[in-house]
Amino acid sequence: LQVENQLRLALRNKHIQVMYQPKVSLRNYEFVGLEALVRLNIPGTGVINPSEFIPLAEETGLIIEMGEQVLRQTCRDMRQWVEQGTVQGRVAVNLSAKQFVQPDLTKRIMAILNEEKLAPEYLELEITEGVVMEDPERAIEIMTELNQCGIHLALDDFGTGYSSLAYLKRFPIQTLKIDKAFVDDINGADRDRNMVASIVAMAHNMGLDVVAEGVVNTAQASTLSRLSCEFAQGYLFAEPLSSEAFVQHISVPA
Ligand code: G
Ligand code: G
Ligand code: MN
Ligand code: NA
């Protein structure tokens, strides 16, 4: 109940904070895009991580309001960065299960982009394998609609759920994000390395970009690069940063 009240209060007071994590090219470690990650920043209490409030936000339905605040803030920041020429590529925003199945999802997203004056081409939405596989046929319809508006789509946490390959082929997505669980032991277990190699090859055969998540050391980065994975995120490059820290980070050459 305490977290729920804090969440309600944070939504009312607009204390939802958006942090940004850079996405880099594994070829040269250059910045190519970013992911928005929500935090609750409660004055006097401190920062609360999503693992503590996303499940609750989802249960109570507060995730809808939270998701809209996150998207709005992200579009506002991104628009400014695009105008200033600070940032290239797309900004990725995570969509929750409840948001994804809202009947007017596309309309709501387009309204926010329009109000914040950000072109849809700058936005990418991340949807987890678990969410799309709940009702794959409906997911294809929703994704197609979003795609037709110029919004890119990424399948998040890939490998942790059950994606039938038959569906994967039909999903109108542009990017596959390999879950951190596969990256963790990429230099240990042959099986994990072979799994990543297969995922990358399959994704490329389908014309998808591949992003590895949770890269924490250079050995992982070089193995991923050798396996032809072209993009990555992780603490090796940067943690999720406040908008101010993010701008600082990307304007200082690596
Ligand atoms: O940032 P962190 O690693 O703590 O995020 C934990 C989880 O919360 C991840 O699964 C991430 O996808 C999810 N998450 C982060 N930000 C958002 C958001 O804005 N909306 C939704 N639905 N999930 C998010
Ligand atoms: O589920 P999703 O992939 O959206 O969530 C990404 C989560 O992973 C975020 O909560 C982010 O803070 C976290 N994260 C990003 N990079 C790293 C990393 O290198 N190590 C760990 N442990 N977590 C990371
Ligand atoms: Mn994500
Ligand atoms: Na993920």
In order, the DSSP letters of the chain are -HHHHHHHHHHHTT-EEEEEEEEEETTT--EEEEEEEEEEEETTTEEE-HHHHHHHHHHHSHHHHHHHHHHHHHHHHHHHHHHHT---S-EEEE--HHHHT-TTHHHHHHHHHHHTT--GGGEEEEEEHHHHHHSHHHHHHHHHHHHHTT-EEEEEEETSS---HHHHHHS--SEEEE-HHHHHTTTT-HHHHHHHHHHHHHHHHTT-EEEE----SHHHHHHHHHTT--EE-STTT---B-HHHHHHHHHS--
Mutate to test the pocket of ligand 1, among 38, 63, 156 (most ligand atoms within 8 A of CB): 38
CA of 96 to the centre of ligand 3 (A): 10
pLDDT tens per residue across span 95-107: 999 999 999 999 9
ipTM for the complex?
0.96
| Nearest-atom index, ligand 2, CA of 51 | 10
pLDDT of 103: 93
Whether pLDDT at 212 is above 70: yes
Whether pLDDT at 230 is above 60: yes
pLDDT tens per residue across span 153-191: 999 999 888 777 888 889 999 999 999 999 999 999 899
Is 179 touching ligand 2 by the criterion CB < 6 Å? no
Is 120 touching ligand 2 by the criterion CB < 6 Å? no
CA of 156 to the centre of ligand 4 (A): 5
Question: pTM for this structure?
Answer: 0.96
- CATH numbers and ranges of domains, the chain: 2-245 (3.20.20.450)
pLDDT of 254: 57
pLDDT tens per residue across span 20-59: 999 999 999 999 999 999 999 888 888 888 999 999 999 9
Is 94 touching ligand 1 by the criterion CB < 6 Å? yes
